[in-house]
Chain A
Amino acid sequence: MTPLPLVRMKDIRKQFGPTAVLTDACLDIFPGEVHILAGENGAGKSTLIKILAGVYQDWEGEVEYFGNARRLRSTEEARRIGVSVIHQELSLVPGMTLAENLFLGRNRTRFGLVRRREQRQAALGWLAKVGLAADPDSPVDHLPLAAQQLLEIAKALLGDARVIVMDEPTSALSASDVNRLFGLIDQLKKEGRGIVYITHKMEEIERLADRITVLRDGAWIGTKMAAELPVRELIRWMVGREVNQVTTREHVPVGEERLRLERFSVRGRGGQEIIRNVSLTVSKGEIVGLAGLQGSGVTELLEGLFGSFGDATSGKIWVNKQLVNIRSTRNAMRNRLALVTADRKSKGLNLEGSIIHNVIIAALPSLSPWGWRRRSTEREATDRQVRALRLKAPSLHSAAWQLSGGNQQKVVLARWLLTTPHVLLLDEPTRGVDVGAKEEIYRLIQQWTQEGMAILLNSTDLPELLALSDRILVLHRGEVTASLQRAEANPEKILAAAMGRLGTQ
């Protein structure tokens, strides 16, 4: 007899405004199993988990927890009935001790006063259970990330969670910490708890999976026992659709080298290497695609190259065959680099500013000799770009926040075109952009290469990346795992390499 599932989610639908992010998603969690939830970026995994944990309330479908259909009203309620989610961004309170964090929200009290000694004693037991040897009275700030993760698990266990969801828990862990975590997962499994595990790493799927559910474009694709789902098939499930040609790449003769990187590395705030020894070249008229799943470091590669990380980069950079030293964004701009950031709202636009303001800001030094602005020159330059990009706006003085996503993106593109870059770094240039505008941006990218620009393109939209790129480099945890020519590239190869499967080149 098959045991009853702990949780059963059926036909879950969820919309954000007009866009559906989940259509008919399903997920069953049985006691004593590790259930891998797989899918590309944007497949709807996080949304599904957030519904499971009571973060969202406005969804359609049916969820049964431990045999009873119910709709949770809060994450607190989820925790109370035994569903715990360990998010990528940990939810520990800095400044509080291990014990305080552990008992946060379920303090042992007498007459409203916290019984600290009792908590401390109890904390020792729970920490031992997850194999964390640390003083319960030390603040969590000083704990290494791996230990913080274990503490989160202890917190879940303390609440007697029967379902524990882990969202890419190993993204910041070292190999030995990962092993420790896996040991703990095995133990939790033996205790009959259900584990949902989200990961982009093939080796983890192979090591942990009992069953696998794949989501794609918000829909349930299938669920199978891990043993019955070979890697090839898993990847096909994730990629799914035959890649419908989004656009055609016209042949552009490749000219001389514009950009060369050798053993380029980027260190993050904590000193860890986000990008390790990446070497690449981009030539005049060429589009080199960069592929990578969440946490692969592609964005950091582009921002590091553009000087945003300051001194935290190493390696050699040649622009137009000149060895250059890029330590700031101004350095990068002086070397004719331009970066269109992935996050328009937080890193791209001044939403309060007018179109003119946003377009001219990067090219301002050349537009305003001696510092004095020439408003007619600015207006003409903006107008020229607006026309070339077919940017639609009521007036050049409209504020950026009044524009649609596609037109906002065109504002950012116009800004960088005005600086006449030789190397254009595009990070997710079509994210949050409607279909029509996407097509236009594809056309523009092609046109720029014909004019001699070299483009480094990051896109998590695989069909888009395949259609535009002349070559594709795939990154996994900050390292290049594959370099594919246009002719040999396909979604399966890219995804396999992005999940850490080497040897696909």
Chain B
Amino acid sequence: MTAILKKPAFLASAEARAVLALFLVFLLGLIFNGDGAFLQAGTHRDALRQASVTGILACGMTVVILAGGIDLAAGSILAFSAISFSIFAIWWAWLPFLAIVAAIGCGLACGVVSGSLTSGLRIQPFIATLAMMVFARGLAKSISGGVKVSTSLPNADGTYHSIQLPAIFRQIDSRFAGDNISVVTLIFLMCAALCWVLLSRHRFGQYVYAVGGNEEAARLSGVPVGMTKIAAYAISGAMAAIAGICQAAQEQQGDPEAGSGYELTAIAMVVIGGTSLTGGRGGVGLTLLGTVIIGYLEKILSINAVPEANRLMLTGVIIVLAVLTQRRGGRGA
């Protein structure tokens, strides 16, 4: 078994394996290049932009998974924050800065509740965040009245009129550096950097790894286990909110149905990067690679206009292959 699956020395680290997987996906793109579409700069910019929203979710998800949890509510919190942001910015015409901060606050609050349910009331993360997933989706529908929050507003007689879209929407959904990088991608990179700093340069990160690696040992070493978990879910909630703002900006409206199923893509990104679902091992750098892998994969399938049924099957196969490459040869694997 180990003899067959023995890995060459240069693949000793999870990072190296993720880079290899990315390289293989890239190769796939070069072969099936969709009549040269893959060779255009715009394709790469768009692939990265498309992956950015789920990538932001994946950053927060990484923190939670490293702490030994899971956040199924991320997609719903995205919708709730997208709705909040749209209401603040479009309906109430708040200052963009204020609307952004308030929307992030909404996501953060949801995360704090998820975290408190798991650490305070000792509900399993899967169940607690499942409850939050349903609840936040309901919240999104309830404050939006079940419809999209957009610039067309109803008149008294049932017809609609349009108002000006706040500039912040277009600003977030724009590009820079000679039209080559999307602002959303930049936001994603900043989120990843923020999570990286917290995880590897701040005391909190060591607590996250300790709790995810061995909760009991962490507790007996004086690690504030409860606060660490709550903070992890709060970060995930805040990231979901940032993703929600980006999503709203790209759709130019808040959709209460937005982001459903995104949490699963985010989890796939985390796992394909090489972070262990059991917690304590991995990092946000790996998730960055996982995000790009999935992003490119989706793009390649899309430019080749692969039918939906085949896409689903191919994606399933590729996820399994990627996770197999990620499996390490050492202990217990």
Q: Which residues of A contact B (CB under 8 A)?
A: 303, 306, 308, 329-330, 332-333, 339, 341, 346-353, 357, 360-362, 364-365, 368, 371-373, 401, 415
Contact = CB atoms under 8 A, between A and B. Distances in A.
Contacts of A339: 220
Contacts of A333: 222
B310 interface: no
B161 interface: no
Nearest to A374: B201
A357 B206 contact: yes
A372 B205 CA distance: 10
Given A372-B201, A373-B201, A350 B222 contact: no
Contact of A330 (B204, B207, B222): B222
17 contacts: A303-B220, A329-B221, A346-B216, A347-B220, A349-B214, A350-B213, A352-B281, A353-B209, A357-B210, A360-B206, A361-B206, A364-B203, A364-B207, A368-B203, A371-B202, A373-B205, A415-B221
B224 interface: yes
Contacts, number: 76
Max chain B CB contacts within 10 Å: which of A306, A339, A349, A350?
A350
B202 A306 contact: no
B222 A362 contact: yes
B137 to A, nearest CB: 33
A401 to B, nearest CB: 6
Contacts of A415: 221
B125 interface: no
B331 A401 contact: yes
A153 to B, nearest CB: 34
Given A361-B206, A372-B202, A373-B201, A353 B220 contact: no
A346 B219 CA distance: 12
Contacts of B223: 361
Given A347-B216, A357-B210, A352 B224 contact: no
B105 to A, nearest CB: 22
Given A306-B220, A353-B213, A364 B206 contact: yes
B280 interface: yes
Contacts of A348: 217, 220
Given A350-B280, A373-B201, A357 B209 contact: yes
B214 A341 contact: no
B189 interface: no
Given A373-B203, A401-B331, A350 B209 contact: yes
B303 interface: no
Contacts of A347: 214, 216-217, 220
B218 interface: yes
Nearest to A340: B220
A212 to B, nearest CB: 39
A303 B220 CA distance: 9
Contact of B218 (A303, A341, A351, A361): A361
A401 B206 CA distance: 17
Contact of A371 (B204, B217, B331): B204
A350 B210 contact: yes
Interface string B304-333: 000000000000000000000000000100
A349 B221 CA distance: 9
Nearest to B201: A373
A361 B222 CA distance: 8
Contacts of B281: 352
Interface string B3-40: 00000000000000000000000000000000000000
Contacts of B216: 346-347
A342 to B, nearest CB: 11
A329 B219 contact: yes
B222 A351 contact: no
Given A365-B203, A373-B202, A352 B213 contact: yes
Contacts of B202: 368, 371-373
A365 B210 CA distance: 14
Nearest to B214: A350
A364 B201 CA distance: 12
A362 B224 CA distance: 11
Contacts of A368: 202-203
A26 to B, nearest CB: 37
Contacts of B331: 401
Interface in B175-224: 200-207, 209-210, 213-214, 216-224
Contacts of A364: 203, 206-207
Contacts of A332: 222
A267 B205 CA distance: 34
Nearest to B282: A352
Given A330-B224, A362-B221, A415-B221, A353 B203 contact: no
B280 A329 contact: no
A350 B220 contact: no
B203 to A, nearest CB: 4
**Which of B202, B203, B216, B331 is packed against the most chain A CB atoms within 10 Å?**
B203
Contacts of B200: 373
Contacts of A349: 214, 217
A311 to B, nearest CB: 15
Given A330-B224, A373-B205, 13 more contacts: A329-B221, A333-B222, A341-B217, A347-B217, A348-B220, A349-B217, A361-B223, A362-B221, A364-B206, A371-B204, A372-B203, A373-B201, A373-B206
A66 B209 CA distance: 55
Contacts of A303: 220
Contacts of A357: 206, 209-210
Contacts of A362: 221-222
A289 B276 CA distance: 41
A353 B207 CA distance: 11
B213 A351 contact: yes
A368 B207 CA distance: 12
A486 to B, nearest CB: 30
Interface string B270-290: 000000100011000000000
Given A352-B280, A368-B203, A373-B203, A346 B217 contact: yes
